[in-house]
């Protein structure tokens, strides 16, 4: 694993396997009465968020604190960027304070990659525009593996607002790295430009018809619903919310058909959910839903990512499970 985690494409399969194995040990920490290990004592992690966030920001903060790192939260509103300072100057200023890692969320695609080229500390991409969100993809993979084991040959459908979704992009890469079969589903207006060429080169399927995927020849093992990101939309991508729900929402009836084909099917959502739009409220709370498992996995996976970036020789993919267990004792 390199010094930064900017894109899911930065990770080889051994890298992903190592992070997920470490996350299993980190998940054990979450179950302890005293959730504190000395793994990153003396390290400083700065969470710098230019966009609002609840799950990602809080999970990175908890991850750092549970591993005894000094964790500092910054936001654009309270920083010099609100006074006109450039992203480069702000990043260099933070880096000059000798921090060890900078976790950054920014509304511009490519911002995390650019920052990683300016600073000496490790950079973790916590979401950049409509580009990528690699730790979300890792926690989704962790959640799936904890329920169904190896993902080789498993069929995962990703449904919804693909055009504006950084989660979709990172998930396609990570799931394909782990050998899963992926189908992405969206209305034509929310299907990203150039996806046909990408799907051919990376080996995933695309569809405009959710019902065809639900009832298709290949049963779905996991259905991941994406939030309709109205705040990123500037035009009429679909006529009405009701029409979107009818054509692309995971309704109780569609879940029933999924379960008929595969009783072990899982329902996922990276959150926050628009209940009643892309997912019915009763589906979000159904036994097949692993939404809260994803939230729980987020802390363990982000602990694992920080560990691999900052904990020295144990951060190498060749580190054994015993190395990790010793680090969190």
CB 156 within 8 A of CB 44: no
Indicate if 56 belongs to the active site. Answer: yes
- 219 by Cβ neighbours in 10 Å (0-12 / 13-18 / 19+) ranks as middle
Q: Is 55 in the active site?
A: yes
- In the sheet with 266-268, reading across from the earlier edge strand, the strands are 205-207, 181-185, 155-159, 222-225, 266-268
Q: How far apart are alpha carbons 55 and 75 in whole angstroms?
A: 15
d(C-alpha 120, C-alpha 150), whole Å: 36
Of 56, 130, 143, 163, catalytic: 56
In the set 83, 234, 240, 318, the catalytic residue is 83
Q: Is the dihedral of CA 231, 232, 234, 235 positive or negative?
A: negative
Give me the catalytic one of 27, 131, 133, 164. 133
What is the C-alpha end-to-end distance of the chain, expressed in Å? 23
Cβ atoms of 110 and 55 closer than 8 Å? no
User: Has 234 been annotated as catalytic?
Assistant: no
Instruction: Please give the Cα distance from 310 to 296 (Å, whole number).
Output: 22
Residue 113 annotated as catalytic: no
Q: Are strands 122-128 and 205-207 parallel, antiparallel or unpaired?
A: unpaired
Give CA separation, 242 vs 155, 277, 326, in Å: 28, 7, 53
Query: What token pair was written down for 296?
Result: 């729980």
Q: What is the DSSP letter of 192?
A: P
Catalytic residue among 27, 105, 145, 154: 105
**105 a catalytic residue:** yes
Give catalytic residue positions: 55-56, 83, 105, 133
């Amino acid at each position: 694993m390199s010094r930064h985690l900017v894109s899911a494409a930065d990770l080889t399969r051994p890298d992903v396997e190592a992070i997920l194995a470490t996350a299993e040990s980190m998940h054990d920490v979450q179950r302890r009465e005293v959730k504190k290990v000395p793994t990153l004592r003396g390290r400083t992690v700065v969470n710098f968020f230019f966009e609002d966030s609840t799950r990602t920001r809080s999970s990175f903060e908890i991850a750092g604190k549970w591993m005894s790192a000094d964790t500092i939260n910054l936001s654009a509103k309270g920083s010099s960027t609100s006074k006109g300072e450039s992203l480069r100057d702000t990043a260099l200023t933070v880096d000059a304070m000798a921090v060890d890692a900078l976790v950054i969320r920014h509304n511009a695609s490519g911002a995390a990659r650019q920052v990683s080229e300016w600073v000496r500390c490790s950079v973790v991409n916590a979401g950049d525009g409509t580009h990528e969100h690699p730790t979300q993809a890792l926690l989704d993979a962790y959640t799936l593996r904890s329920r169904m084991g190896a993902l080789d040959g498993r069929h995962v459908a990703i449904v919804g607002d693909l055009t504006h979704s950084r989660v979709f992009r990172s998930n396609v890469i990570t799931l394909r790295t782990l050998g899963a079969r992926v189908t992405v589903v969206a209305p034509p207006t929310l299907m990203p430009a150039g996806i046909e060429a990408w799907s051919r080169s990376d080996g995933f399927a695309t569809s405009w018809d959710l019902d065809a995927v639900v009832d298709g020849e290949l049963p779905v093992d996991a259905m991941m619903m994406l939030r309709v990101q109205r705040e990123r939309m500037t035009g009429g991508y679909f006529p009405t919310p009701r029409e979107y729900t009818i054509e692309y929402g995971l309704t109780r009836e569609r879940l029933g058909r999924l379960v008929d084909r595969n009783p072990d099917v899982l329902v996922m959502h990276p959150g926050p959910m628009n209940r009643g739009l892309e997912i019915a409220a009763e589906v979000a709370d159904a036994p097949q839903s692993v939404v809260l498992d994803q939230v729980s996995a987020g802390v363990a996976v982000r602990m694992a990512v920080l560990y691999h970036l900052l904990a020295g020789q144990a951060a190498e993919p060749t580190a054994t499970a015993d190395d990790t267990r010793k680090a969190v004792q």
